[in-house]
Amino acid sequence: MTRKLLFVAALLAILILAPARALRSARPPDTYTLAAAAGAPPAELPPALRDAIGPEALEVRSGSGVLCDIWLRKEVPLAATPSQELGVTFGQIAEGTLLGVMRVAADTTDYRNQKVKAGLYTLRYAFAPVDGNHTGIAPQRDFALLSPVAADADPATITRDEALKRSAKTTGTKHPSVWSLWPGDDSAAGPALRFQEDSQTWLLTFRLALAGGTKVSMGMVVVGRAPEA
């Protein structure tokens, strides 16, 4: 009798846990694709920003249309003193540095699951602080902060505090709009978009040009959110 009860209990556990495991590993309802869109950056961009970014957009699309377009900066300046902090992947870039411009085609959400309205935004580099509020949000501390172009029209590097302040205008809260940055694929021939089953996110990878003629492989989560968001 005892063996039979143990067998029934084990079977029930399998039946209960299996759907949950399948749900965690299932692909999202939408499938996203990447296309390179040639042409000039948006005409409504301030001249200084237009001059700072490249002419080709990385366009992320879903079945319902364009999700976003990203123009990378032609050349990202290097930090005067690279960061050696634990968990920081792109320490050669100073916080507050412009990485590019992003056009959100339709209302969406960021990595913190905060609402982001359609519009034009700058992307600036920052990393998450080491405190209890940010533990486990991503494997690394690197993030891009999304700020409205209307509040961030100059490509010059700004302070971390100013970058956070401007980005908070995107969400309309005290918290900035954060987009997780990951190490890219050095072996990739060009930009790519892939689904990460472990984090249930879509990662856009690309090669970012740095001052001095070097490039760094970088990825940005364009769909998906932090585990606790």
Tokens of 51: 């001059």
- Which one-letter amino acid corresponds to residue 51? D
Which stretch of 37-41, 77-81, 86-90, 217-221 has the lowest confidence by average pLDDT? 37-41
Output the pLDDT for position 23: 38
The answer, yes or no, to whether residue 86 has pLDDT greater than 80, is yes
Asked whether the beta carbons of 164 and 175 are under 8 A apart, the reply is no
Q: Tell me the pLDDT of the chain averaged across its residues.
A: 86
107-114 average pLDDT score:
96
pLDDT digits over 173-210, tens only? 999 999 999 999 888 889 999 999 999 999 999 999 99
Output the pLDDT for position 3: 45
pLDDT digits over 142-179, tens only? 999 999 999 999 999 999 999 999 999 999 999 999 99
